[in-house]
Structure 1
């Protein structure tokens, strides 16, 4: 039976644990891309209007589940670099999941065991859906498919014309256009209120 304690656990999972795992996943891209001389990296968490931009971190107003990493260029651009960058999120979640699971199995976590069990669950959830090669709902390949294609063919072979990772400058341009449209809609709404 689903009770109040389950509702609290679900809320913690959805609004604390899942965002933390998503953030760490995106950090996997960032950490590995630094090894290949990334320029203009950005980790965007959420969507919609910007709440705050701190250096390379762009925090948006709406739900954290839609998050991404972008950059403008790699100084050491190669097939190997792309394979490593797309392996980054898989490896960081795998490492964290295994490490925390090992610590839990050895008595660490005590009264917060349920919290950490769920953290491990979501970490492995992302490992599974990042590592197994597949095409996602929007027709884009997941990380596993990108790694597979780059390893086997040396290039992208799916039919989606969008880049694997967007350029930070393109993301910023898109965001500015989005905000301009929102301001126009707000202006039109105020105009209709006065009429």
Structure 2
């Protein structure tokens, strides 16, 4: 059995430069949809570094494969459970898409392919690490820490506490 070889480089590049950003987009879209359901004004970003382009509330940065986040303000229904649902919704979106991909593979609609394996793998990774409570190097709370702060303090998490 070969380990990682030069022939695996294409798969590696696809995983990090295509699959991971798609998983990030699914995750952030979950937050966006939930926030919009409750009347929030939103902005969301895919990537890190300098801006590549901005379309409406979506900003894509040069290192589009690195990160993602969603900011929301002015909820029409400003309740504790709404904030919790918004913070959970990224992981919920990832879970729904995992289940959908697995179902479609099981039904024979999608082929068994490394892309879908990687997609599900990165989606599970996203769910785990987004719900793990911590602050990023930039002081941003993970979804898990934001949920903890909403439960403990009864307010939306402040990114730079």
TM-score, length-normalised on structure 1? 0.71
Q: Distance in 1 between matches of 2:24 and 2:66?
A: 7
Q: State how many pairs are aligned.
A: 158
For 1:109, the equivalent position in structure 2 comes to 110
- Cα deviation, residue 155, structure 1: 4.0
Q: Distance in 2 between matches of 1:66 and 1:22?
A: 7
3-state SS in 2 of match to 1:12: helix
Say whether residues 1:80 and 2:81 are aligned partners.
Answer: yes
For 1:59, the equivalent position in structure 2 comes to 60
- Cα deviation, residue 8, structure 1: 0.9
Give the one of 7, 11, 27 matched to 1:9. 11
3-state SS in 1 of match to 2:113: helix
- Cα deviation, residue 89, structure 1: 0.4
Give the alignment's Cα RMSD to 1 decimal.
2.4
Gaps of 5+ in 1: 164-195
Superimposed CA distance per residue, residues 98-129 of structure 1 (whole angstroms, 9 cap, x where no aligned partner)? 2112222333322x611111101111111111
Structure with greater proportional helix content: 1
Q: Distance in 1 between matches of 2:61 and 2:153?
A: 36
TM-score, length-normalised on structure 2? 0.84
Structure exhibiting the larger radius of gyration computed from Cα positions: 1
